[in-house]
Amino acid sequence: METSDILFAHDLLMRLSDNIETVIKGQTENIRYILAGFAGGGHILLEDNPGTGKTTLAKALAKSMDAKFKRIQFTPDLLPSDILGVSIFDPAKKEFKLHKGPVFTHILLADEINRASPRTQSALLEAMAEGQVSIDGNLMNLEDLFFVIATQNPIESRGTYPLPESQMDRFAMQLELGYITKETEALVLSEQSQTHPIHSVLPCMTLEEGLKLRRLAGEVFISKELKDYIVALVTATREKPGVLLGASPRASIALMKTAQALALFDKMEFVGPDHIQQIAVHVIAHRLILDPRLKFSGVSSRTLVEEILKSIPVPV
Amino acid sequence: MKTPRFFLGMVLLFWGWQVELLWIALVLALILESARRVKTRFELQPSDFNKFVDISTVLLAGTIVVALTMEKEKANLILLKWLPLIFFPIIAAQEFSVKGRMDIKSFFLVARKKVEMRFYETKEIDVSYIYAFFCILSSAFANTKGYVYFFSVAVFFVWGLWQIRSRRVPLVGWSLCMLIVILLGYEGQATVRKIGRSISNRIMSYYGRYHMIDPFKTYTALGEIGDLKFSDEIVLRVSFDDYVPGKPYLLHNATYNRFASSNWFAKYGFERIEGKQNGTFWQVNPPKNNSQKMTLYFRLQKGKAVLSLPPGVIDISEMKAGGCEKNALQVIRIEDGPSLIKAVVSHTGSSFYDALPEPEDIFIPIKERSFLEATAQKLGLENKSEEEILKTIHTFFSSEFTYSLDLKGKGKSQTPLENFLVNTKAGHCEFFATATVLLLRQAGIPARYATGFIAHEYSPLEGRLVVRLRDAHAWTKVFVNGQWRNFDTTPSSSLNLDSEKIPTSLLEDILSFFGFKLSQLRHETGAKLMETYGLWLTLPLGLILVLRLKKAGQIKRIGDQDRPAKGKNRKEKPTGFYRIEEILIEKGFPRYPHETYASWLKRIFHHLDDKAMTDSLFLVLKQHNQWRFGKPEHMEEQKRKLNKGVTVLMEKLSAMP
């Protein structure tokens, strides 16, 4: 990897980040992680209370790229065919014609994904993991650059279905936006008094650039020692008492890839231990299933992963 | 938190020196200290640690058994003395393990099971400081009572804490704090000892109201026995070979012959009796045929006791005691022995071995003479024969006097005795006995005052006579027809009266019996078992040990080179940022193992308070990361560059306060 490549990637990420920040204020860190997730080839799940800007953030990201963008609003009566597509009989030609669903796109915004039933949620499993879908027995490839950004309300909210573990595992990262500071919120108010800034977002990255960014992220060097550290972190979740389901090897891969992309943000050609520590919680926590008794005692998946981070010596 | 080098070894040697087990201590110390030199380590799993804790537990149990059965007294002290040896397997396991720490769960059987359960974090601790504490505690066993112990402990204290002191505090401040702590500690222990002594004095004076404080004292005051009457505690258990149901037996404790101002004194020196058969057989008087036997069980008080014996003791067998003494008045006292003493006494039953009468035995204090003369005249003792005098006095007391534990005021009389004899005509045994002695002396018959117990209560529960504290009694020894004999003028109604006054509690009796049986088991049966089967008893314990060790023997042994290296041989030669880390730690900024250098620096740079320094630190860190985590190309050049930066930075850092 040439120095020019690193500069290109860094520049691109910064551009994207700045572009999104014109719409979403006070979320620099989360935007960094989302972009790292995108560059690392993963899908992102945003979970937070209604009105915290999840959808706006997702839309801003989608609009920043000059690529096909589809949005699905998940509702309880949504069906898998509404996502994947359906074959309809054409009386004129006397044959079935496939009407492709919204999944055939570059960027897919799955809004409020946990409002649909698990049956529908599962429709995305194959698409997200393998970049292909099976409709009526036909295997169909999705676009080269396929990126799902989903939002969901906290699972305790009314009218939601928790995502199946396998679906959760497909997401490279889960991020909580959280509330912004009072000052930032006041700024948001004054900016949106006339018109929503999302309408004025212009694309700043082409499809080719997006693909190149992903390729470059994969070329970032990561030492054996840090790979071992990643594996130690992930396997620790499986051995931790009170965890019913630990993180999968897919989590290790996602952690590595995201850390690689994060290194590009810092204009570095190799991954450092800090990159891994920064995103470990976001990459691992949502994949864990805790014993209900542990949950009642006030331990969440996030705190558990933070605890693991503190218990494993980091290579320095 | 490892102990400093040689710390454990020195603590062990100190223990060995104090409790006089220097050779054992030397071996243990060498083993522990060799752990720092020998590179071989064992890969111990939590279950393996459990085994070592089990070994210690078995050892502890074994020591308790042996201490209780063999050593009778001071079992807890024996235990204390051997603590370092008992816990040695645990510390050795830790020192020679790869981990160097122990899971705290190993120490709790209940928690071990919970390993299977979820939510329980593994908490690993280093037991070496705890072990050192036990060694020091154990050294206290020697109880040297000098300054050596305290100051040695203080030295170990300082030594142990030196390594883990906060580097941020200047040395002077730290030393000052330690000095204050040591001085406070010294004051504290002195105060605690003072308080302890005063509390124990309090307790003893309270206790003394019911128990004789000093079994060896050579006088008794009128009223002392009266106080004893208020307790129904069982103090003696007696069985006679020729027991006649219903007959009260007088068991003699002490005899006094000089009466002055309401106190009885005895001025006879004691002579040692040599113990035979391992200190269990004591020839008190010359052997004699047709003796009778009786068995006695009692407890030592503060390691001493005056024996309560029937008249005419010839010898005492089966009594384990450190020493036995008697005086001319046949007072026999012993020292040291198990807490429960058994004595098989052969006695003549009637004839006394007491010293022949002396002028002292017919002496009457001047104060008491007037009313005694009057009483003697009233009874017409002068012209009667000895037998008649005894009879008259007996009738006099039984007809005109009543037994009472409530003492009335002194009235106008000069002495308590006069009050009893002339005014109240009511009192308890001490008054009866004293009055009798003095009346007899007035009539010209030598008499002495005897104290002891009256055994009259047959316990169906125990199948022998039990003597309670309230059975304490005083009577007279009188010399008629050329020999001494007991003469008791206290009305026999006293026995019933005492029982009424202090009702016995069945529950307490049963508990007392239970305690007695337990002691008997411990001192008699147990000791006998240990003598004959002692070695066999330790066999199962040994077997368990061997089995445990055998399992423990399957532990994987790991040489030095096989151990996973930490970092890039960091221990060997610190290079790069490690050198800076060392300096910063030295300056009081420790780094958690989970912290990356970047997050560590971010945490501490406020304290550094030097923008330029922080910047250059981050710059060097970047080079360091490049060298450590970057592509392994141009390694040497990177390292050279890094070390250059580090050296420059080191100089700056060292200059910092």
Is the CB of B628 less than 8 angstroms away from the CB of A274?
no
**Distance (Å, whole) CA B470 – CA B460:** 19
Say how many C-beta atoms besides its own lie within 10 A of residue B384's C-beta: 14
Q: Are A249 and A306 in contact (CB under 8 A)?
A: no
Distance, in Å, from the CA atom of B586 to the CA atom of B582, rounded to the nearest integer, reads 6
Contact between B117 and A297 using a beta-carbon 8 Å cutoff: no
Reduce the secondary structure of B339-358 to three states and give it as a string. CEEEEEEEECCCCCCCCCCC
C-alpha to C-alpha distances, B50 to B102, B111, B582, nearest whole angstrom: 9, 11, 36
d(CA B236, CA B453) in angstroms, rounded, equals 9
Right CATH for A220-311 from 1.10.760.10, 1.10.10.1200, 3.40.47.10, 1.10.8.80: 1.10.8.80
Single-letter amino acid code for the residue at A85:
G
Residue extents of the structural domains in chain A: 1-185, 220-311
* B577 interaction partners in chain A (CB closer than 8 Å): 316
> How many whole angstroms separate alpha carbon B373 and alpha carbon B369?
6
CB neighbours of residue A178 within 10 Å: 12
Kindly list the residues from chain B whose CB atom is less than 8 angstroms away from the CB atom of residue A309: 594
Which residues does chain B have within 8 Å of residue A269's beta carbon, measured at their own beta carbons?
Answer: 630-631
Could B629 and A273 be called an inter-chain contact, meaning their C-beta atoms sit closer than 8 Å?
yes
Decide if B626 and A225 are in contact by the 8 Å CB cutoff: no
A288: nearest Cα among A174, A177, A157: A174
End-to-end CA distance of chain B: 27
Residue B567 φ/ψ, nearest 5 degrees: 60, -160
Taking CB atoms and an 8 Å limit, are A316 and B118 in contact across chains? no
Name the residue ranges covered by the structural domains of chain B.
7-164+533-552, 166-207, 219-504, 577-655
Q: Phi and psi of B429, rounded to 5°?
A: -50, -35
Contact A242 B594 (CB under 8 A): no
The SS3 assignment for A116 reads coil
Return all residues near A145 (Cβ < 8 A) that are at least 6 apart. Answer: A67, A106, A207, A210, A211, A214
**Cα–Cα distance, B593 to B577 (Å, whole number):** 15
In chain B, residues with a C-beta closer than 8 Å to the C-beta of A271 are 629
Q: Does B596 touch chain A (CB under 8 A)?
A: yes
User: How many other C-beta atoms lie within 10 A of the C-beta of residue A111?
Assistant: 19
Residues B122-160: pLDDT tens digits?
A: 677 888 888 999 898 888 877 666 788 888 888 888 888
- Pairwise CB contact (< 8 Å): A293 & B597: no
Place of tokens 């900016």: A191
Q: Give the pLDDT score at A32.
A: 92
For residue A252, the distance in angstroms to the closest alpha carbon of chain B comes to: 18
Q: Identity (one letter) of the amino acid at B545? A: L
- Phi then psi for residue B38, to 5 deg, are -70, 135
A315 and B595 within 8 Å at the Cβ level: the answer is no
The beta-carbon neighbor of A309 closest among B594, B597, B625 is B594
Element (H, E) at A139: strand A138-141
Question: Taking CB atoms and an 8 Å limit, are A316 and B630 in contact across chains?
Answer: no
Q: What is the DSSP string of A167-200?
A: HHHHEEEEE---PPPHHHHHHHHHHTTTS-GGGG
- Partner-chain contact B594 A312, CB within 8 Å: yes
In terms of DSSP H, where are the helices of B443-576?
493-501, 506-520, 526-552
What gap in Å lies between CA B651 and CA A17, rounded to an integer? Answer: 41
3-class SS at B459? strand
Residues of chain A with C-beta less than 8 angstroms from the C-beta of B567: 315-316
Give the amino acid at B98.
V
How far the first Cα of chain A sits from its last, in Å, is: 24
CA distance B206 to B213: 10
Q: How big is the A-B interface in CB pairs under 8 Å?
A: 64
Burial of A143 (0-12, 13-18, 19+ CB in 10 A): middle
Say if CB B436 and CB B476 are below 8 A apart. Answer: yes
Query: Which candidate from B594, B598, B626 shows the least CB-CB separation from A311?
Result: B594
CA B510 – CA B76 distance, rounded (Å)? 26
Task: In whole angstroms, give the CA distance from residue B151 to residue B146.
Answer: 9
Pairwise CA distance, residues A102 & A69, whole Å: 9
Query: DSSP letters along B369-435, please?
Result: HHHHHHHHHHHT-TTS-HHHHHHHHHHHHHHH-EE-SSPPP-TT-SSHHHIIIIII-EE-HHHHHHH
**Cα separation, A19 vs A8, whole angstroms:** 16
Taking CB atoms and an 8 Å limit, are B120 and A241 in contact across chains?
A: yes
Contacts of residue B56, defined as CB under 8 A and 6 or more positions apart, other chains included, come to B86, B87, B88, B89, B90
Across the interface, whether the CB atoms of B595 and A314 are under 8 A apart is answered: yes
Q: How many CA atoms lie within 13 A of B406 on its CB side?
A: 2
Nearest CA-CA distance, residue A272 and chain B, Å: 6
Taking the C-alpha atoms of residue A275 and residue B501, their distance in angstroms, rounded to an integer, is 88
Question: What are the backbone dihedrals phi and psi of residue A132, each rounded to the nearest 5 degrees, phi first?
Answer: -150, 160
Ramachandran angles phi, psi of B552, nearest 5°: -65, -25
Residues of chain B with Cβ-Cβ distance to A277 below 8 Å are: 596, 599
Among B114, B98, B188, smallest CA distance to B150 is for B188
The answer to whether A221 and B631 are in contact (CB under 8 A) is: yes
Estimate to the nearest angstrom the gap between the alpha carbon of B363 and the chain centroid. Answer: 46
> Distance between CA atoms of B448 and B157, rounded to whole angstroms?
62
As averages over each run of 10 residues, the pLDDT of chain B (657 residues) reads 82 88 88 82 76 83 74 68 87 83 76 54 79 88 76 88 82 90 89 84 60 54 65 83 82 83 79 82 83 86 82 86 84 82 84 82 82 83 81 85 69 72 80 86 87 85 84 86 85 70 72 81 67 64 70 57 45 69 81 88 80 84 86 80 83 75
Torsion, Cα of B520, B523, B524, B525 (10° steps): 90
Q: What's the angle, vertex CA B538, arms to CA B536 and CA B543, rounded to 5?
A: 100
Give chain B's radius of gyration (CA, Å): 38
Q: Which residues on chain A are in Cβ contact (under 8 Å) with B599?
A: 274, 277
Contacts of A221 in chain B (CB under 8 A): 629-631
Q: Tens-of-pLDDT digits for all 316 residues of chain A?
A: 788 889 999 999 999 999 998 888 888 899 999 999 999 999 999 988 888 888 888 889 888 988 888 989 999 899 998 999 888 888 999 888 888 899 999 999 998 898 888 888 888 888 888 888 888 888 889 988 999 999 988 866 788 888 888 888 999 999 988 888 899 889 888 888 888 888 888 899 998 999 999 999 999 999 999 999 999 999 999 988 888 999 999 999 999 999 999 999 899 989 999 999 999 999 999 999 988 888 888 888 999 999 999 989 998 8
Q: Which of A270, A291, A310 sits opposite B629 (nearest CB)?
A: A270
Q: Hey, are the CB atoms on A273 and B596 less than 8 Å from each other?
A: yes
Q: Report the distance separating Cα B434 and Cα B450, nearest Å.
A: 9
Q: Is some CB atom of chain A closer than 8 A to the CB atom of B597?
A: yes
Residues in B closer than 8 angstroms to A1, CB to CB, are none
Judge contact between B86 and B3, C-beta under 8 A: no
Taking CB atoms and an 8 Å limit, are B598 and A274 in contact across chains? yes
B578 near B61, Cβ under 8 Å?
no
Q: What is the pLDDT of residue B564?
A: 46
Nearest to B295 by CA among B224, B237, B246, B374: B237
Show residues of chain B in contact with A312, CB under 8 Å: 594
Q: Which of A221, A241, A312 sits opposite B119 (nearest CB)?
A: A241
Those of residues 490-549 in B touching chain A at CB distance below 8 A are: none
Helix (H, G, I), strand (E, B) or coil at A306: helix
Task: Find residues 560-579 of chain B whose CB sits inside 8 Å of chain A.
Answer: 567, 577
Contact B631 A272 (CB under 8 A): no
CATH topology of domain A1-185: Rossmann fold (3.40.50)
Sign of CA dihedral B241, B242, B244, B250: negative
Q: Which residues of A touch B596 (CB under 8 A)?
A: 272-274, 277, 314, 316
Give the pair of three-digit tokens for residue B409.
């005021």
Q: How far is A202 from chain B (nearest CA, A)?
A: 36
Cα separation, B230 vs B472, in Å, equals: 10
CA distance linking residue B126 with residue B90, whole number of Å: 11
| Interchain pair B118, A291: CB under 8 A | yes
